[in-house]
Chain A
Amino acid sequence: MPIIVNLDVMMAKRKISAGELAERVEITPANLSILKNNKAKAVRFSTLEAICRELDCQPGDVLEYVREE
């Protein structure tokens, strides 16, 4: 998948744990783990909105496009 989720980077910058973020964003820790490990196939706007709100960042800070070779 050429879309990379850099959630762990932002989480480290904001010094927030996975459990705490999952609770704030109102998703399960298992789903957050799927997102963090780049296993997600799609992200709802509502989830992205909650992540950006809680991490105080832009969608581009969390998502990155990498051209496939």
Chain B
Amino acid sequence: MDKKWTAAKSLFFSRVLTIASLILSVAALFCIPVIAEWYDAVSDNAVKIRTVLTVILYLSDICGIFALWQLFRVLENFAKQRVFVKENAACFRLISWCCFGVALLWLVLMYWRFLAFFVAFIAAFAGLILRVMKNMLEAAVEMREENDYTI
């Protein structure tokens, strides 16, 4: 199989997935009050958390939309063959902060529902991985610059 063909298709697939996720996240914004109401209706817990859940879901979704937008920018740069650039490292940094932000929000929700810990843990873990990726990308940018500026 042609390697370039696979790489191009893979990048295209990633961009399609990112755009689809972005559309879904925007659509989810309109469903959040319904989701929160539904959760309170099916939850066995006597303490109702509709309002706080609505706020946390809204903020998480906004963080998610912002992170997906940054991811889309990274993929756009990849498509333009701009891989090891500072801009991509900055995008990864922002995505990582979004993940930490979501983790913090769900840690707050832990006060009412302990299961929120798992969402917070996954978000924090993703944020950590992205932060390491950002550090690696920054090192790669530095190496590329050194290479480019060696005459």
Taking CB atoms and an 8 Å cut-off, the chain A residues in 33-49 that contact chain B are 34-35, 39-44, 47
Kindly supply a per-residue 1/0 record for chain B positions 116-151, scoring 1 wherever the CB is within 8 Å of any chain A CB and 0 otherwise.
000000000000000000000000000001100111
CB of A61, distance to nearest CB on chain B (Å): 17
Interface of B is mostly: mixed
CB of B86, distance to nearest CB on chain A (Å): 15
Q: Indicate if A58 sits at the interface (CB-CB under 8 A).
A: no
Query: In the bound complex, how far is the Cα of B150 from the Cα of A31, in angstroms?
Result: 9
Query: In the bound complex, how far is the Cα of B151 from the Cα of A6, in angstroms?
Result: 15
CB of A6, distance to nearest CB on chain B (Å): 15
Q: Indicate if A27 sits at the interface (CB-CB under 8 A).
A: yes
CB of B98, distance to nearest CB on chain A (Å): 33
Query: In the bound complex, how far is the Cα of B149 from the Cα of A43, in angstroms?
Result: 8
- CB nearest neighbor in B for A33: B151
Selected contact of B145 from candidates A31, A32, A41, A44, CB within 8 Å: A41
CB of A37, distance to nearest CB on chain B (Å): 11
Selected contact of B146 from candidates A32, A42, A47, CB within 8 Å: A42
- Give the residue among A31, A40, A41 with the most B Cβ atoms within 10 A: A41
- CB nearest neighbor in A for B149: A41
Q: Which residues of B contact A (CB under 8 A)?
A: 145-146, 149-151
Q: Which residues of A contact B (CB under 8 A)?
A: 27, 31-32, 34-35, 39-44, 47
Query: Given A34-B151, A35-B151, 12 other A-B contacts at CB below 8 A?
Result: A27-B151, A31-B151, A32-B151, A34-B149, A39-B149, A41-B145, A41-B149, A42-B146, A42-B151, A43-B150, A43-B151, A47-B151
